[in-house]
Structure 1
Amino acid sequence: MTMTNLLGLLVLLLGGLALVAADQGYEGYRIYEVTPQNAVQGKLLHQLSLEGFDFLSESRLPGRPSRVIVSPAQLETFETVLRGQKLAHTLVNDNLGASIAKEFALRQLQRRLSPITGKGRLSTERYYTHEEIINYIDDLADRFPRRVFVKTVGWSFERRVLKTITITNGDGRSGKKVIFMDGGFHAREWISPAAVLYVIDQLVEQFEQNADLLEDYDWVILPLVNADGYEHSQSSTLSRMWRKTRQPYTYAGQTCYGADPNRNFGFHWNEEGASSNPCADTYAGPTPFSEPETIVVRDLMHSLADRGVMYLTIHSYGNYILYPWGWTSDLPDTWEDLDAVARTGAEAIKAVTGTVYTYGSSTNVLYIAAGASDDYGFYAGFNISITMELTGAGSIGFNPPVTRIDEFVTETWIGIRAMAEKLIEIY
């Protein structure tokens, strides 16, 4: 069977994965690791992602594995694709639903054993709620009033407050350069806000060790962009793999929720790599900036652009440090500076932990994905714009087991600190 025939079969047989999961949970869903051996196979995997398969991580590079969720209804067709294209693959989870149920049971136990008051330092022993994150940064502003400033910058669709924390060295100098950082674009990527919280801890609680990063730069951090989706993903086992925002849209007589906030930015919006189907995980939204959450990020970028030097957004997963462009395989004129910063982060992580991060432009390393925040940040005036896709682990992938959160966030900090040092050297 040719690849064209296989893809035609997929279109006929596949239902929308997100819809099935939302209605029936994930019992019997599987996770496969699939490794393309050539460009044709890499293109096929990307096409599968556009036809309804939910990829946890995706690579177009030969020899680099991708991970994909397969529902019971999709299984026969998927195995036909594997056989027909002789795709190297491994079954890494034979029942996603059971893994999610176990994760939730452990999480509920941890929350009972270690309730959070919102005062003092957060540990790296569990994942926190939106409310706990907000309480934490508010408390930091109370405890470090000369160095930390918290500001309400907007509201989510479901009226959850969105706040930034600005971290300075307290010397009172105005007009410093800015590093703008955010996390939690995609709801299910819980390790992203966890890593951002660790960066905040290092810059505030461990100030003496990191004062050099704040001498000429202020850090403005939005810890959790997609607050509604994040809370939804924590609400039950049925919604654990939720990715998008939560604004409802009507499509073909049914209600589908949310847009992909990382396809909703108004720079090459809704081009290749984004979907016009409101039920798809990569739905670009009905218009650019249709989501209040992406409006907040956009407005922050423009308000900071005259001082902003670096925009850094944290995602999961796949061991990548990516820079523009994501809408085309062409490189920006200043790609060498972008590459130098990304390379420095990757080399620092490898030197300390041995973990290998692939770095390069988003399209050339992964795939075209238009309308993303890193492209918009670069377009808005930030000299350096980076997406960091963290290491995955565990039976689900997006979140390391809680016993390994500390390992992963400290590794992430190694790369971020090195990139910041390189930024200071260049600019």
Structure 2
Amino acid sequence: MGGTRWLMMLCLTASVALTSARPDGDVVKAEVEPEAESEASPTQDKEDDKVSYQGAQVIQIDTQTAKDVLDSILEKGEIEEWGRNKTHVDLYLPSKSTGSIKSLLMSKNISYSVMIEDVQRAIDVENVVETEAEDEFAGRKGHKMNWKSYHSLSDIYGYLDYLADTYPSQVKVGSVGKSAEGRPIKYIVISSGNPGAKRFWIDGGIHAREWISPATVTYIISELVENRDSYKDFASDIDFYVVPVINPDGYEYTRSSQRLWRKNRSKGNYFCPGVDLNRNWGYNWGGLGTSNENCREIYRGTGPFSEPETRAVSNFILQNKDNMKGFITFHSYGQYILLPYGHNYNSYPPDFKEMERIGRKAALAIKSVSGATYQVGNSAKLLYPASGGSDDWAKGIAGIKYAYTIELRDQGTYGFTLPAHYIIPTAQEAMAAVKTVARAVQES
């Protein structure tokens, strides 16, 4: 990490104007202290304060033949792991490292395939917005959400408020608390009207760059509220508690400044702000698959629930956990339905077989909708161990019977830069999974 230290010293002499966003989503300029680049960092475009990923690539290599080399280059922090399964790993290469990493792989006779030729070009085309069409849609509908593009936090929150105003007997909107930068973390409760109804938790956007997650969760909200008659078989028995964006600061930062930012925007560290919120939950916190280094993407924080986002959401769930039987947190990417416990290769909840059975039913439901294949299993087995995750906490502490992490599309072709025209088909797959788990909740 010598290169990182040199950059940190260099940054002490500089001042960088970064783009931030107010809680209402309005973008403003602010002079703040500089952040040091990690060795895997992109470059900053001084014209508009947006990071440029020009020339960065994503490659895929075989994990078996390349294990020792892979471990050594990941340890140096020159590159970032984007996705992994039993056979291969997707690696993000910043432009300054593409040549050297490829040369190293070739010298070791390790073959690779290029998944994304130019990351910036992929970003440029992922969210092409037709402003006039969106404005016309908003004028007719009273909100801006159309699931043909990725929307701002203010659009998402505006949609929740629109639903609360339009369906006051069915919908309640509030805030579970505030983010590190003071934004509200909004939730919506979609009521069944049944005093004895079971409860089902759904969330998205815990990792900032996974744009398909909030888009999918808002689509699910729209189905459960505006298309309610299609779900009569379980909608009259379940109250849905939904947070579309757990990490609002990070999400807005990916829109204004750094598209591939993952963590929250906590300022606990001068050089490397942010904590991986899905390593910060208070169940087996600090174990495998986490880091105590601030600059790592999987930095776990200073302690369990050190971050205001995880504290607020976990407290809200505990306050409403009576009769809460379902929990799904949406991530990307890879197309997985992951079961607790992900903190250990050999750790399984007592009712793992039942959870696996419902997970496989959900995967079949997805396949019937689109033909897409979603793998089902313990995340430590299918991917890698990851401690301090929200699904482990939901199962191990909150005691929610059916708790899952669902990794949405795709399987590496676009990775985190999934084009917006995939929002609706991806969300329809997710809705099929929600329906399957909801029926299990109903019968529990």
Q: TM-score range by the shorter chain?
A: 0.7 to 0.9
Could you tell me which residue of structure 2 aligns to residue 211 of structure 1? 232
- Answer yes or no: is 1:338 the counterpart of 2:355: yes
CA distance in 1, matches of 2:74, 2:384: 11
The correspondence for 1:74, drawn from 97, 100, 117, is 97
Could you tell me which residue of structure 1 aligns to residue 392 of structure 2? 375
Deviation at 1:299, TM superposition (A): 0.8
Task: Report the RMSD for the aligned CA atoms in angstroms.
Answer: 2.8
Pairs within 5 Å for 1:9-408: 16-17=38-39, 19-21=41-43, 25-36=52-63, 38=64, 41=66, 45=70, 49=74, 51-52=76-77, 53-59=79-85, 61-62=86-87, 65-80=88-103, 82-83=105-106, 86-103=109-126, 106-107=128-129, 110-111=130-131, 113-115=133-135, 116=138, 119-120=142-143, 122-170=145-193, 173-236=194-257, 239-250=258-269, 254-329=270-345, 330-379=347-396, 380-392=398-410, 396-408=414-426
Deviation at 1:130, TM superposition (A): 0.9
Q: What is the identity, as a one-letter code, of the residue corresponding to 1:55?
A: E
**Equivalent residues, number:** 404
Deviation at 1:66, TM superposition (A): 3.0
Contact 2:83 2:412 in 1 (8 A): no
Structure 2: any 5+ residue segments left out of the alignment?
8-36, 46-50
Structure 2 counterpart SS, 1:287:
coil
Contact 1:169 1:211 in 2 (8 A): no
Deviation at 1:82, TM superposition (A): 3.0
CA distance in 1, matches of 2:285, 2:248: 22
Deviation at 1:424, TM superposition (A): 2.6
Contact 1:323 1:385 in 2 (8 A): yes
Structure 1: any 5+ residue segments left out of the alignment?
1-7
Structure 2 counterpart SS, 1:57:
strand
Contact 2:126 2:417 in 1 (8 A): no
Structure 2 counterpart SS, 1:256:
coil
The Cα offsets for residues 344-363 of structure 1, whole Å up to 9 and x where unpaired, read as 11111123321111110110
Deviation at 1:92, TM superposition (A): 2.0
Q: What is the identity, as a one-letter code, of the residue corresponding to 2:154?
A: E
Please report the TM-score for the alignment, with normalisation by the length of structure 2.
Answer: 0.83
Please report the TM-score for the alignment, with normalisation by the length of structure 1.
Answer: 0.86
Seq. identity, %: 32
The Cα offsets for residues 90-128 of structure 1, whole Å up to 9 and x where unpaired, read as 112222123323446x34xx3465244782573111111
The Cα offsets for residues 262-283 of structure 1, whole Å up to 9 and x where unpaired, read as 0111211122111111111111
The Cα offsets for residues 159-185 of structure 1, whole Å up to 9 and x where unpaired, read as 111111111223xx3242111010001
Deviation at 1:227, TM superposition (A): 0.2
CA distance in 2, matches of 1:83, 1:13: 29
Deviation at 1:47, TM superposition (A): 6.8
